Amino acid sequence: MSESATDQAEVHNFAPLAVEEDGRRDGGGESALSELLHRAGLEVVGHGRVFDAWPAAAARWPVKNLPRDVVDLLAQDEDWVVRLFLAEHCAQAPADVLLEMVESWNGYSAARMVEHPNFPRHGVMRYADDPNPFMRKLALLDPESTVELVERFSRDADSGVRRCALRDQRLSAASVIRLLDDPHHGIRDEAAADPRACPPAFWPPSCTTPQPPPAPP
């Protein structure tokens, strides 16, 4: 299949990836998915579900940038693993797919998805009372989140949520000082290193009084 100059520019940095074609998608001939994947520089082999042998496919997914139509098609794929790979590896992963995977996947890559530029910030306040601590923390990403929520999270039963509140610059100095006695040693250490734990009013005079420059040698 020939590619236009535009298509070649879109996929110049794609490495080949062996995936399996679902020949049933368009009732015969090359499927829409196969055509798009070919244009994205991905090699289509065999028949059956896309990414049927997903562990091998995962190890060989080097694609970071995909054309918009390829992203849209993969984002709607019925296979959860296909959408997971899209969220894990694609720079154009849609916000709804990223949020879906964070909600449904508890692997290490879920934390990276939250850092994805496309991860949604607006609307995640609804997770403030979620029973899952990982989801609860997302509420602080929302521009509508409040200082009161940060303070509340600093007293959360989960250490990860308390740590997230400690790292929020809206947390009061009084709460940072309180966290110096947190049951979790990592939180105590972070609180001790936080400048808010020792406001300038309590600094020793040597830290606030201008010192003369050192004498020349």
CA 202 to chain centre: 39
pLDDT band at 67 (very low <50, low <70, confident <90, very high): confident
Identify whether the C-beta of residue 102 lies closer than 8 Å to the C-beta of residue 139.
no
One domain for residues 115 and 133: no
Residue 56: predicted pLDDT: 37
Identify whether the C-beta of residue 160 lies closer than 8 Å to the C-beta of residue 186.
no
Question: CA-to-CA distance for 118 and 98, rounded, in angstroms?
Answer: 8
Per the structure, the complete domain to which residue 48 belongs is given by 1-120
Residue 138, pLDDT above cutoff 60? yes
One domain for residues 88 and 180: no
Number of residues in the chain: 217
Say if pTM beats, i.e. exceeds, 0.85: no
One domain for residues 200 and 93: no
Burial 150-167 (b: 16+ CB within 10 A, else e): bbebbebeeeebbbbbbe
One domain for residues 104 and 144: no
pLDDT band at 73 (very low <50, low <70, confident <90, very high): confident
Give how many domains the chain has, as a whole number. 2
Residue 172 lies in a domain: yes
One domain for residues 129 and 47: no
Residue 189 lies in a domain: yes
pLDDT band at 2 (very low <50, low <70, confident <90, very high): very low
